Structure 1
């Protein structure tokens, strides 16, 4: 079985990434192989006004797309997760007769876990293609990474079909769950896939029939497929991923628990000076990426630092959404900068808005701040306490 070949783009051309899906190999390939997105030039108000109609539309579209794709950012959380993933993936290069350890990236929504794992997967894909080439020795396309997203009430047959859909296997339409599994194994072997990413694992209902079926199937994959499983989900421990047995004493979950290493990502904290410096570094990095005519040094890091933390509670997902939507509004309305008045008009996710009220009180009472304390301030503070 040789999967269909993807269509090669002309050199220097950029695929339409807004129309891809990572449930298909073509989408992952397009994202991994796309040339680096270039930041549009930041024009002055006078330069923008001098543009012709078509040029103005192109400029506005270009920076709109840019602001919608500012990440991923090299945050401490992302870098720490990548270090752990490289350790585990590198240590899983055992011969095929040995089962490989799995990974579970378990964190609350809005902390960037899927973005971070995908960024790692793309780097792994690029590294393997650079090292071993786009085709295997047998002439099949090389696909170092496969990604499957789960849906509610998914069963073993549905899961195996999703694997085949990723590879565009011609036998993905008809067959039994067992046949689908055998075909999926053929794809993994012939395409030399090494990472199998399973996203939205929290959709799996571990205690019902389908949940147990798929959980047992993960053990089969770990034993028979020469891949590293990377699970992504929310509160996977509470949902039973690491349980030694279920509520009826069934110990079939124990093998998954013993072979799975839990990793997580945390929100930004500002409880000490080191953490506040990390937040400020993030603000400064974001400032450099914004394409707004009236932006200025310190717009985020000085004038909006506390505000942005309060609005997003340090969740990178909420922060990137707020910055993206704020930039879209600032460009569209001609404001051309971010300030509190404009950002107050931007709607954000319900979780961030709920948590905002409690943080506002702490910041108002000077019990919290995102601003790093200077050496002088720390010295004065220490003398005052003494």
Structure 2
């Protein structure tokens, strides 16, 4: 049996930051991870101490980085993103439409947008080259993450920080903004992602300042703005004057296309098939010695839905942590007993009791009618 592959064959991504261009490029250019070989319990026992440690490390890294998964929600969102970004090829004298990806936490909106951004980066570099005609580095995407109480000067400086502009440490907000425009023009940036936009306060005077700031960027920067956040509509992003909102926010609403992502649902067979396909996808990628066909899709489907309420972020966390414990304890499989000992986010745990009670009362199931029929036939022998 060959020795497990080394992690050194792939560049490490655990220490990168997407707030800087080098980190984003490293993520975009990194080759796909290679799934570790599936070993049986006997194969594991035959490994030496060093080989077993190396194999388990490979599995830990693989299981902690499953995805992104091309779920129906991710595919639909990315198709909309491609439509809007590719249609924004107007000349620079015309403002480009913006995008607001607005969804609750744990539904994968940031993952989906970043995955799109990586593909867009690769496409643009492939078509246009790594350098512009003027000899500057080409950076098709700029990504800025916001923190609480961030001001416009801090926001402008964050753009400069992404590009590693030498004058990012000193200057006024207006000077930072003009330097950011220079970076966008020199590097031919086409997409500006603003993550966690909900940290900004949109009401009152601050809302007008923020709206005016983004209107200036939309008018003067030849980029497609992609806002990512939670409850952006309720925070005033789309406020219209005739709906009681501030008139200065109306233009932002008219130029911004809202997109969203929904949790998985199991209220009809079509949606149950989508959930089952997700279970089957995960089964193929779980690397445990005692894994068996149907471990997730048949044995744990209802349990996993009840534990995570169909939120993919919670599901991936539970599966990842469960697999890590299964490796560490030597269980080498997932079942309810093991997963019950794994803790995940508070929101999922709060909703779990009600869903499990409904499941016990047989008010719902995540299994398709075909899967239920197969289970019934197997039970009857």
TM-score range, shorter chain: over 0.9
Instruction: Confirm whether residue 267 of structure 1 aligns to residue 266 of structure 2.
Output: no
Deviations 1:293-325 (A, max 9, x none): 000000000000000000000000000000000
1:382 equivalent in structure 2: none
Q: Is the 8 A contact 1:81 1:263 kept in 2?
A: yes
1:60 equivalent in structure 2: 56
How far 1:151 moved relative to its partner? 1.1
Change (3 A) 1:247 1:179: farther
CA distance in 1, matches of 2:320, 2:372: 36
CA distance in 2, matches of 1:215, 1:317: 31
CA distance in 2, matches of 1:249, 1:133: 45
Equivalent position to 1:312, from 308, 318, 322: 308
Deviations 1:19-76 (A, max 9, x none): 0000000000000000111001111112212222221111111100100000100100
Instruction: Confirm whether residue 78 of structure 1 aligns to residue 74 of structure 2.
Output: yes
CA distance in 1, matches of 2:325, 2:208: 47
Q: Is the 8 A contact 1:106 1:233 kept in 2?
A: yes
**Within-5 A mapping of 1:25-174:** 25-174=21-170
Return 5+ residue gaps in structure 2 as ranges.
1-7, 374-381
2:213 equivalent in structure 1: 217
Deviations 1:179-204 (A, max 9, x none): 10010000001101000000001101
Q: Is the 8 A contact 2:239 2:245 kept in 1?
A: no
Return 5+ residue gaps in structure 1 as ranges.
1-11, 378-386
Secondary structure (helix, strand or coil) at the match of 1:17 reads: coil
Normalised by the length of structure 2, the TM-score is 0.93
How far 1:374 moved relative to its partner? 2.8
Secondary structure (helix, strand or coil) at the match of 2:253 reads: helix
CA distance in 2, matches of 1:129, 1:376: 48
1:282 equivalent in structure 2: 278
CA distance in 1, matches of 2:52, 2:198: 45
Aligned-residue CA RMSD in angstroms? Answer: 1.7
Secondary structure (helix, strand or coil) at the match of 1:229 reads: strand
2:349 equivalent in structure 1: 353
CA distance in 2, matches of 1:168, 1:209: 31
How many pairs are equivalent? 367
Q: Is the 8 A contact 2:141 2:189 kept in 1?
A: yes
Q: Is the 8 A contact 1:246 1:253 kept in 2?
A: no
CA distance in 1, matches of 2:97, 2:243: 25
Instruction: Confirm whether residue 366 of structure 1 aligns to residue 362 of structure 2.
Output: yes
Greater mean alpha carbon deviation, residues 345-354 or residues 52-61: 52-61
CA distance in 2, matches of 1:149, 1:24: 10
CA distance in 2, matches of 1:201, 1:249: 19
Q: Is the 8 A contact 2:239 2:246 kept in 1?
A: no
CA distance in 1, matches of 2:132, 2:213: 27
How far 1:14 moved relative to its partner? 2.7
Instruction: Confirm whether residue 226 of structure 1 aligns to residue 232 of structure 2.
Output: no
Q: Is the 8 A contact 2:295 2:334 kept in 1?
A: yes
CA distance in 2, matches of 1:374, 1:163: 52
Normalised by the length of structure 1, the TM-score is 0.92
How far 1:208 moved relative to its partner? 5.0
Greater mean alpha carbon deviation, residues 108-117 or residues 246-255: 246-255
Greater mean alpha carbon deviation, residues 48-57 or residues 124-133: 48-57
